[in-house]
Structure formats: C-alpha cells, structure tokens
Amino acid sequence: MNELTHLDHEGSVNMVDVSGKEVSERVAVASARIDMQPKTLRMIVEGSHKKGDVLAVARIAGIQAAKQCATLIPLCHPLMLSKIDVRLEIDEEHSCVHVESSCKLSGRTGVEMEALTAASVAALTIYDMCKAVDRGMTINAIMLKHKSGGKSGEYNADV
C-alpha cells in the first residue's frame, strides 16, 4: 500500500504539492444509496412533496457540492471541473434512490473527492427534504466506483 500523501516525513499534516505532476484527463464516478419507506419513495416519484421536486433539488445540491469540495475537505485542492453529472435512479423494488455522480477535468490532481462529495450531498439533500415524513431513512454504500487518469491509472471497484 502507498504511504499517506497528506503527512510529511515528521507526521505533520500538509497539502500535497501537485505542481510537478503531469496534466491528464481525470474522471471519477461515485455512488450512494438512500433507503426509505415505500410511502416516502412514492411521494418523491409522484412529486407530491410539499417542498417541491426532491430529485431536482438533490441533483443541483450534488453539483454544487462537487464545486465546493475544497471548502469542505480541508486538504483538497480547489479544482476547475469541466464536467459534473449527478444521476438519481428510483428503485421501487428496494424502496431506495440510487445516486451516481461523475466528475471530470484536465489537471494535476484527481477528482475522487469531488465525486464522493457530490453523491453524499445529493443523498443528504433527499434526507433533508423528506425527514419530516421519514426520519428512519438511511444513507448507505457511499463509494468510489471508478477513477481514471493520473500516475496511478485506472481503478474500478469490485461491485
């Protein structure tokens, strides 16, 4: 396993210097799942929620979260993302919403944290909008599914 990159030789926390890295196209895909009661999911699908279109707000929140990642995660670099996509899929059989986010840029550092943040915040937004009717919702399976670009190359989760 590689050494932790955010610690210097004395064990102090530092932001990684990426200035010497090659610019490459970098892509990351992350996912999350939010489980809920069937009646809550029905309310989302039917658009009958008093707060409005839950999925549209969650999608926008995920996009905004990816853009703000460096303000949320202390050692992340501010990035000029060229693409952010947040997709939400209703799963009536399992009474959940699957969230998948992808982030892309040409740069010197990866976009994994941005994709993970987008997926997490989209799921959190669904929780926030629906908590009045279902406080028992759970957010699960937040994970990096894919990353490409950079020196470490490609990664695909075994899912």
Paired with 156 in beta bridges are 146
Residue 158 known to be catalytic: no
Q: Among 101, 130, 116, which Cα is nearest to 43's?
A: 130
In sequence order, which ranges of the chain are alpha helices (DSSP H)? Answer: 38-46, 54-67, 69-72, 112-130
For tokens 């409005």, name the residue: 52
Question: Rounded to 5 degrees, what angle do the CA atoms 138, 70, 81 make?
Answer: 95
Q: Among residues 8, 35, 128, 158, which one is catalytic?
A: 128
In whole angstroms, give the CA distance from residue 109 to residue 50. 41
Q: Could you list the active site residues? A: 128
